[in-house]
Amino acid sequence: MDAVGPGQSVRRKSRVLGLRRQSYYRRKAGHRPEEEDQFIAELLCQTTQRFISWGFWLVFYFLRNQGYSWNHKKVYRIWKEEGLNLRKVAKRPKMKRKYQALIAPEQINEGWAMDFLSDWVVGQNQQQVRIFNLVDEASRKALWLEGHRSISAKKVIQILDQAVQWRGKPRYIRCDNGPEFIAHALQQWADDHGIELKFTQPGKPTQNGICERLNGTIRRDCLHLEWFASIKELNQALQKFWQVYNQIRPHQNLGYKTPDQFEQINQKFYFRSVA
């Protein structure tokens, strides 16, 4: 290769080094493509951080609409260099709940647990129903079973008011993180009555195991045995199940006593019934 010295012409230097003279003169005039690339990279990163789920073309045309006229090949080259096509899929942030230690209650009516059970009612419109259940954690007594097409936090509060009027208020109520249970109205009701809401950790239904076991028993001993033409028929069947569950069915964890027998035997436990 011919030597290139300081006294050589731009034409000769460009021919020897394999550069275009236009590039030399543009560079001399202040054209710095690496600075533009860095600006595009920063702009792409800022846009993808703001719109996490957007792909390349959405981002590209978003920048076009902002007045930037870069060629899509140039922008895509920088997009790949920044590794933006390997971004993780956006995930819903996990709900943060303070962990509550799972301590079994020592007294009847000290702690309740509540949950929902979903099922289908075979009627003219095949409506889906939700069954609300409330149980005493110490005696395993089912305090409330009721099915509705939908149950809001307001309806939950109405049921709890009736349960408290009948049985007296507990020290705490255990529940999961369903939208009805984390509603501000229910928290306000609990604060007004001096009742603590104990939330289970998300994704761990076993922390509300007594209610989960009751759900399984309801399905096995009631819901799976017959078809229901209406919600009214369902609630009638639930009422019969409620009587059998509390008064006839022995419970292994209670020494094969029924919940009613267990509460009668253990009158020394704190228990107050409101007529």
pLDDT at 256: 84
Judge whether residue 275 has pLDDT over 50: no
Q: Which of 30-39, 102-111, 249-258 has the highest mean pLDDT?
A: 249-258
Band of residue 274 on the pLDDT scale cut at 50, 70, 90: very low
pTM of the model: 0.61
Residue 95: how many other CB atoms lie within 10 Å: 11
- Is the sign of the CA dihedral 101, 214, 94, 191 positive or negative? negative
Domains and CATH numbers, the chain: 10-86 (no CATH), 111-265 (3.30.420.10)
CA angle centred on 234, ends 232 and 238, rounded to 5°: 115
Average pLDDT, whole number, for the chain? Answer: 82
Band of residue 115 on the pLDDT scale cut at 50, 70, 90: very high
3-state secondary structure of 211: helix
Given a contact cutoff of 8 angstroms between Cβ atoms, the answer to whether 150 and 157 are in contact is no
pLDDT at 69: 87
176 — phi, psi (to 5°)?
A: -90, -165
First to last CA, the chain: 108
* Amino acid (1-letter code) at residue 173: I
